[in-house]
Chains A and B, each alone.
Chain A
Amino acid sequence: MVKIVYIEHDGKSHSIDVKSGLTVMEGAVQNNLPGIDADCGGSMACATCHVYVKEEWFNKLPKKEDGEEDMLDMAFEPNKFSRLSCQLTVTDELDGLIVQLPSKQA
């Protein structure tokens, strides 16, 4: 299990054990965390699982693949630490990863 910290827009923090191999999006959805919609189910087609990765973690993540940045154009208030959580696969190296959730997804 890998610990992922999700911080809601109002500051409420949730520390969740997510199985290695799942995505950060799945970790949130399976634990009924509010703030991540994931309408398309993880096919990188909707930008409603948008998160802001805590700065110190941002460069430790695998780089964005083609298409993710395009989808982020459509996300709600993206910034330079934006990622789609369906594209972040949980591995042991990410233990303690902190992601912040936007005020809404759309």
Chain B
Amino acid sequence: MIKTDALIIGAGPTGLFTAHQLKLIGLDCEIVDNLDKIGGQCIELYPDKPIYDIPAISECTGEELTNNLINQLKPFDVKFHLNERVEEVKNNNGRWEVKTNKGKSFNTPNIIIAGGVGSFEPRKFAPKDCEKFEDKSIFYSIKDKTIFKDKIVSIFGGGDSALDWAIELSKNSIINLIHRRDEFRAAQSTTDKMNELVKKKKINLYTKYQLKGVRGTENLESIDMENDNKEVKNLKTDFVLGFFGLIMQLGPIANWGLNLNKKTINVDTEKFETNQKGIYAVGDICNYPGKLKLILSGFHEGALAARACFKLARPNEKYRFEFTTTSKNLLKRLGKKE
């Protein structure tokens, strides 16, 4: 059980700056994020796209913004728990007990949800029957590639993940690569390599097809795929892999008794607190009259939520507002003064 003054859910720009604000006022905090890297939507959706409306930064990319925020956290010791999703939140005597899908648990008076539009999850195949074989013969990510040795593997997708795995697994498996069109969005060099393997008959390429259905009772036996002209082709296969990128899902947050409004959480505009005492929501995921889904709004919301956390984390102390330009306390925390 990890005890902390505040737990932040989400390592996007809002979560990162909220951590900065918490540490600056002398609270400790930990951050959990379901992605394997820091940066949230900025790093997952638009790392290379320039952003023009961050105050005082006329232009920066999602990746640059993330790196700047990480740099700003350097004076502080903030613990990140990546690749982990918060599953359960329970109240215990006025404190919150939080459990992740990896079995880690936290005990904290404050939870700040900076979850964007939810956690990133793999996009799945459309046919319903696919669920039956999920994690047995149908996968959306690969943990152990040895299970595919000498088997028939059908890979769907046209991006880097699909092509990289088709190339890699073609060494020891029979590979079908299926994509909905003739163009691939994977890197040119990867696409060239794949085409080379198609010529050498190491990869069987089917374009303009999509998965229509799966067959098999106990084990997956074959798949049906269909093209735009509704022609169906059946392929024998042992495994199916789908690489269609990530989608944002609200996920377990929906079960925590919060006052939801579509995919957002209603908060007040003083503390950015939800209907649950000690649970705050900031950034894209929060909702209040006039809410703007801008990164700069997330910074403001996080700064105020951090001050609200102080009250619950240090009930016997009084929070005093201070400036970084003049406060010895703050400068000390920033490592600028002995």
Query: Chain A: residues with CB nearer than 8 A to chain B?
Result: 37, 39-41, 43, 45-46, 48, 69-70, 73-74, 76-80, 106
Indicate if the CB atoms of A79 and B185 lie closer than 8 Å.
no
**Given A46-B248, A80-B228, A73 contacting B46 (CB threshold 8 A):** no
**Given A46-B45, A46-B248, A39 contacting B117 (CB threshold 8 A):** yes
User: Hey, which chain A residues are within 8 Å of B247, CB to CB?
Assistant: 39, 46, 48, 74, 106
How far apart sit A37 and B249, CA to CA, in the bound complex (Å)?
Answer: 11
Indicate if the CB atoms of A45 and B46 lie closer than 8 Å.
yes
Q: Which 5 pairs, one residue from A and one from B, show the smallest C-beta to C-beta distance?
A: A45-B45, A70-B185, A74-B245, A106-B247, A74-B244
User: Hey, which chain B residues are within 8 Å of A78, CB to CB?
Assistant: 180, 210
Residue contacts A-B, CB under 8 angstroms, 15 given: A41-B293, A45-B41, A46-B45, A69-B183, A73-B180, A73-B185, A73-B245, A74-B123, A74-B244, A74-B245, A77-B126, A77-B210, A78-B180, A106-B123, A106-B249
How far apart sit A79 and B41, CA to CA, in the bound complex (Å)?
Answer: 27
Indicate if the CB atoms of B245 and A40 lie closer than 8 Å.
no
User: Hey, which chain A residues are within 8 Å of B46, CB to CB?
Assistant: 43, 45
Asked if B26 CB lies within 8 Å of chain A CBs, one says no
Size of the B side of the interface (Cβ < 8 Å), in residues, is 25
Q: Is chain B's interface secondary structure helix, strand, loop, or mixed overall?
A: loop
How far apart sit A36 and B111, CA to CA, in the bound complex (Å)?
Answer: 30
Asked if B302 CB lies within 8 Å of chain A CBs, one says no
Question: Taking CB as reference atom, which chain B residue is nearest A38?
Answer: B117
Indicate which residue in B183, B210, B245, B248 contacts A39 across the interface (CB closer than 8 Å). Answer: B248
Q: How far is the CB of A66 from chain B (nearest CB, A)?
A: 10
Asked if B115 CB lies within 8 Å of chain A CBs, one says no
How far apart sit A48 and B263, CA to CA, in the bound complex (Å)?
Answer: 13
Interface string of B31-50 (1 = CB under 8 A from A): 00000000001000110010
How far apart sit A69 and B263, CA to CA, in the bound complex (Å)?
Answer: 26
Indicate if the CB atoms of B126 and A73 lie closer than 8 Å.
no
Asked if B159 CB lies within 8 Å of chain A CBs, one says yes
